[in-house]
Amino acid sequence: MTSKKIINKMTDSIDPSLFEFADYDESKSELTGYSNYSFWRSTFQVFMKNKAAVALLILITVVVLFMVIQPYIPGQKSPTQIYINPETNLQYRNVQPNGEFWFGTNSIGQDLWARVWSGARTSLFIGVAVGLFEAVVGITIGALWGYVRRLDAIITEIYNVWDNIPTTVVLIILTYIMKPSISTIIFAMCMTGWLQMARFVRNLIMIIRDREYNLASRCLGTPTSRIIAKNLLPYLVSVIMLRMALAIPAAIGNEVFLSYIGMGLPLDVPSLGNLVNEGRALIMDPNQRYQLLFPAVVISVVTISFYVIGNVFADSADPRNHV
């Protein structure tokens, strides 16, 4: 039997010490309210958990670094010079990969190793330039389109028209009207590429623009530009990064496509598209297939890396995936 304590009055059972004022203690208050959450550090942590992406990131960093310093390494051959065999005075045509020509030579005696790296530089430059332009223009127009209601109808109409002109037509006519060069190609791709980005940003902004905190901001008189920049865009970081990362493989693919239909860069500018095209002409000869395989491998490494890194980074930049 447990002994029962008899309470005469209700107030007797209350411990008076519970009702004393606590002293203010800084360290204790930080235990509950303080969080050391940081967006970029969490993003980094989540990203590092994906082993494949980290491996590809290291790989692509090494490849890009090598791409940049390759022409400055002593003993490298020129990508455009035609090499002539001193004994026979003939060009080194279609030489198989060997000690001197690491990736062999092409049909007029140029060094494929140097051409592959030079081509990769050109293509990557196009990709990055297009990606950046798409991001800037796409975000600006997308944000205005989604946020400013008065512009909605006009931009939607422009979008409908522009989107209904086949991309091929725009790409080809622009490269036709302007002279074929790197800047022409970049311009043509930018003209068609920003549409997707703009629509994407617009749809996202439509979703979050009427949330309560934006309503509150607007009531307090925050200017539109500030609402867009401070309240909306941070939400979009992950998708924007994804789109930019995907724009690089897409631009490389477009360059290959334009070269394939004969509207690419001039032949004396080595680019991955031109190299694939040169290699394509020789695939029927099993001994010459290396001329296609080497550029193909480099293209695959670059595009797959950017694709995977972009996707994984977008996932890790999404706050919902943070711990």
Partner 1 sequence: MKYYVTRLFRSFLTLMIVITIVFLLMRMMPIEGYFGSGFDKLDAGQIEAKLKNLGLLDPLPVQLKNFYINLLKGDFGKSITYRPKVDITKILGDKLITSLRFGVASLIVSLILGLSLGILMARYKGKFWDKLGTCYVVGANAVPAVIYYLLIQVFFTDIFKLPLLFDKSDPKSWILPILCLSLVNIAYYAMWIRRYMVDELNKDYVRLARAKGLKNKSIMIRHVMRNAFVPMAQYLPASILYTVAGSIYVESLFSIPGTGGLLVTAIQRQDNTLVQALVLLYSSIGILGLMLGDILMAAFDPRIKLSNKGGSR
Instruction: List contacts with partner 1 (CB under 8 A).
Output: 157, 160-161, 164-166, 168-169, 172-173, 176-177, 210, 249, 252-253, 256-257, 260-263, 276, 280, 283, 289, 292, 296, 299-300, 303-304, 306-308
Nearer to partner 1, 139 or 189 (CB): 189
Closest distance between partner 1 and the C-beta of residue 72, in Å? 29
Q: What is d(CA 59, CA 164) in angstroms, rounded to the nearest whole number?
A: 39
Closest distance between partner 1 and the C-beta of residue 217, in Å? 19
User: Mind spelling out the 3-state secondary structure of 91-158?
Assistant: ECCCCCCCCCCCCCECCCCEEHHHHHHHHHHHHHHHHHHHHHHHHHHHHHHHHHHHHCHHHHHHHHHH
Closest distance between partner 1 and the C-beta of residue 168, in Å? 6
Q: What share of the chain is helix, strand, coil (3-state, %, to 5)?
A: 70, 0, 30
Q: What is d(CA 140, CA 240) in angstroms, rounded to the nearest whole number?
A: 12
Nearer to partner 1, 194 or 294 (CB): 294
Closest CA to 138 of 24, 293, 242: 242
Sole residue written with tokens 């979008």: 159
Nearer to partner 1, 2 or 160 (CB): 160
Closest distance between partner 1 and the C-beta of residue 208, in Å? 13
Terminal-to-terminal C-alpha distance of the chain: 50
Nearer to partner 1, 83 or 313 (CB): 313
Nearer to partner 1, 82 or 170 (CB): 170
Closest distance between partner 1 and the C-beta of residue 67, in Å? 18
Nearer to partner 1, 117 or 306 (CB): 306
Closest distance between partner 1 and the C-beta of residue 171, in Å? 10
Is the four-CA dihedral 30, 31, 34, 37 of positive or negative sign? positive
Closest CA to 290 of 62, 107, 78, 92: 107
Closest distance between partner 1 and the C-beta of residue 49, in Å? 14
Nearer to partner 1, 81 or 168 (CB): 168
Please check whether residue 182 is in contact with residue 125, taking contact to mean a CB–CB distance below 8 angstroms. yes
Q: What separation in angstroms does the CA of 152 have from each of 98, 146, 217? A: 61, 7, 21
Q: How many CB atoms lie within 10 A of CB 90?
A: 9
